């Protein structure tokens, strides 16, 4: 076990130093705040040191003849020709095999316990009021790392709203480019949001058109046909990305063209590559990624791996009215480092959409739906 003291200006800085030097498995043993002319924090951390990685450590702990590599027992056939392996190991006895399995289970348990201790250890380094704040943030589903950053600077709830306001960026306006493509997982509300945004744009005197890009050929265009008919907006349906160009020419007299895409699982092979084709057409396109505020946090974070390959300009959060916690809005806008364009708060077209300031957004995330009126 390696034990070391770290000194830094803040706990976060000290924790970053611990992580950098000792890795994620480090455990905080103690912490101390030192006042004076140069106030600082001192954190003592420990790590169960593993110079050769997991396998190396398992070998060290394995009973039996010294330096007998466990992997050789499994990978070298007893009948292998001489010289095929560095040494010819004797087969593992049943009792040895059982004790190795037991040791592996114990090590797994130990690692889990260490990880829990580490998380609790980080928390324990905080003064009481900040610990309460951290619990408040976690309850609102704000990612732990971000929560640490927030409660380090903030004294009370209003300070936290102010700190979060500084971190959150919102779009001043949308539709700066001629075309807006709406992407996002299935059923998040892409078509409905386009209807809402189109209605607003028309109210502001802009001439709008809609293209339904149905490359998956699921034929789900009826909903959009109805919206376009009611609002008197021309609609084109395209099933191959290169054909988009023809639609763009057709709508050359329009100020704004919305492109509705078919919802797909971002993990689907080829989906993101297919969307990339849009940007090769040489038409100025603004990309809006829609995410449902009540989606599973893990799925949202995982889908970032795929969507980040696209030139996203802003994020729209839908179904805010159905969410109980709003931490994902903060987590995702920080993860993508993109501004929030709008939030949608219901099924009604066109009214259930709003364009909050960073401060109102921070209020929603930290104080809840009642504060925002949803
Ligand atoms: N509660 C609530 N429902 C919404 C909101 N936005 C959309 N919906 C509903 O969500 C459902 C799916 O909306 P769509 O607009 O069809 O979603 P989509 O992303 O176009 O779906 P796919 O094209 O199938 O991927 C519909 O029943 C919408 O009325 C919202 O802000 N709040
Ligand atoms: Mg749709």
- Cβ 301 vs Cβ 325: under 8 Å: no
CB of residue 319 inside a 6 A radius of ligand 1 = yes
What is the average pLDDT score of the chain?
83
113-126 burial by CB neighbour count: b if 16+ within 10 A, else e? ebeebbeebbbebb
CA of residue 185 to ligand 2 center, whole Å:
10
User: Around Cβ 127, how many Cβ atoms within 10 Å?
Assistant: 11
> Tell me: the pLDDT tens digits for 105-117?
888 778 767 766 6
Q: Is the confidence at residue 287, as pLDDT, over 70?
A: yes
Lowest mean pLDDT among 4-8, 61-65, 204-208: 61-65
Lowest mean pLDDT among 54-68, 147-161, 254-268: 54-68
Nearest-CA residue for ligand 1 atom 26 is: 189
- Cβ 263 vs Cβ 186: under 8 Å: yes
State both tokens at 144: 């732990």
Lowest mean pLDDT among 35-49, 154-168, 181-195, 330-344: 35-49
User: Around Cβ 279, how many Cβ atoms within 10 Å?
Assistant: 15
**% of the chain residues with pLDDT over 70:** 83
Q: Quote the pLDDT of residue 340.
A: 97
Whether the full predicted model's pTM is greater than 0.75, yes or no, is no
Lowest mean pLDDT among 154-163, 194-203, 285-294: 154-163
Q: Quote the pLDDT of residue 115.
A: 64
Q: Is the confidence at residue 208, as pLDDT, over 50?
A: yes
Nearest-CA residue for ligand 1 atom 29 is: 347
**Mean pLDDT for the stretch of residues 330-358:** 96
Report the atom number in ligand 1 closest to the C-alpha of 290: 19
Residue, of 122 and 59, whose pLDDT is higher: 122
211-236 burial by CB neighbour count: b if 16+ within 10 A, else e? bbbbbeeeeebeebeebbeebebbbb
Q: Quote the pLDDT of residue 89.
A: 60
Q: Quote the pLDDT of residue 140.
A: 94
> Tell me: the pLDDT tens digits for 89-102?
676 787 887 888 88
Sheet arrangement for strand 340-344: 235-238, 208-213, 256-261, 179-183, 285-292, 314-318, 340-344, 353-354
| Range list of H helices, the chain | 11-22, 53-61, 70-75, 94-124, 128-139, 144-153, 157-167, 190-203, 222-231, 244-250, 271-279, 297-307, 327-336, 358-367, 369-372
Greatest mean pLDDT range, 53-67, 121-135, 207-221, 240-254: 240-254
- Cβ 44 vs Cβ 4: under 8 Å: yes
Rounded distance between C-alpha atoms, residue 164 and residue 364, angstroms: 11
Q: Quote the pLDDT of residue 119.
A: 61
Place of tokens 């927030």: 150
**Mean pLDDT for the stretch of residues 132-148:** 89
Q: Is the confidence at residue 135, as pLDDT, over 70?
A: yes
DSSP state for residue 170 in the 8-state scheme: B
Can you tell me whether residue 278 is helix, strand or coil? helix
As a whole number of Å, the CA-based R_g of the chain is 28
Domains belonging to the chain, first-starting first, are 179-372 (3.40.50.300)
CB of residue 213 inside a 6 A radius of ligand 1 = no
Nearest-CA residue for ligand 1 atom 10 is: 189
Q: Quote the pLDDT of residue 88.
A: 56
């Amino acid at each position: 076990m390696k034990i070391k003291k770290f000194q830094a200006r803040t706990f976060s800085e000290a924790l970053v130093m611990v992580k950098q030097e000792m890795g994620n498995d480090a455990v905080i043993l103690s912490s101390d705040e030192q006042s004076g002319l140069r106030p600082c924090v001192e954190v003592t951390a420990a790590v169960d040191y593993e110079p050769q990685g997991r396998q190396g450590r398992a070998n060290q702990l394995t009973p039996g003849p010294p330096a007998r590599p466990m992997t050789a027992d499994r990978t070298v056939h007893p009948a292998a020709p001489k010289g095929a392996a560095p040494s010819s190991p004797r087969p593992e006895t049943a009792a040895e095999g059982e004790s190795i399995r037991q040791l592996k289970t114990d090590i797994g348990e130990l690692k889990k316990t260490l990880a829990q201790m580490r998380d609790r250890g980080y928390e324990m380094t905080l003064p009481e009021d900040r610990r309460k704040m951290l619990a408040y943030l976690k309850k609102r589903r704000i990612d732990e790392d971000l929560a640490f950053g927030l409660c380090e600077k903030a004294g009370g709830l209003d300070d936290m709203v102010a700190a979060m306001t500084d971190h959150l960026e919102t779009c001043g306006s949308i539709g700066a480019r001629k075309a807006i493509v709406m992407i996002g997982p299935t059923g998040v509300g892409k078509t409905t949001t386009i209807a809402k945004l189109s209605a607003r744009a028309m109210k502001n005197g802009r001439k709008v058109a809609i293209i339904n890009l149905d490359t998956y050929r699921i034929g789900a265009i009826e909903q959009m046909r109805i919206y376009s008919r009611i609002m008197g907006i021309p609609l084109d349906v395209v099933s191959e990305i290169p054909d988009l160009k023809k639609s763009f020419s057709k709508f050359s007299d329009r100020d704004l063209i919305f492109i509705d895409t078919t919802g797909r699982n971002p993990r689907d092979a080829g989906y993101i590559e297919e969307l990339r084709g849009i940007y090769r057409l040489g038409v100025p396109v603004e990309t809006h990624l829609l995410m449902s505020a009540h989606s599973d946090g893990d799925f949202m974070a995982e889908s970032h791996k795929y969507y980040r390959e696209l030139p996203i300009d802003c994020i729209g959060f839908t179904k805010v009215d159905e969410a109980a916690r709003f931490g994902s809005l903060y987590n995702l806008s920080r993860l993508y480092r993109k501004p929030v364009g709008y939030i949608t708060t219901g099924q009604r077209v066109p009214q259930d959409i709003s364009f909050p300031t960073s401060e109102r957004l921070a209020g929603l995330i930290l104080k809840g739906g009642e504060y925002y009126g949803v």
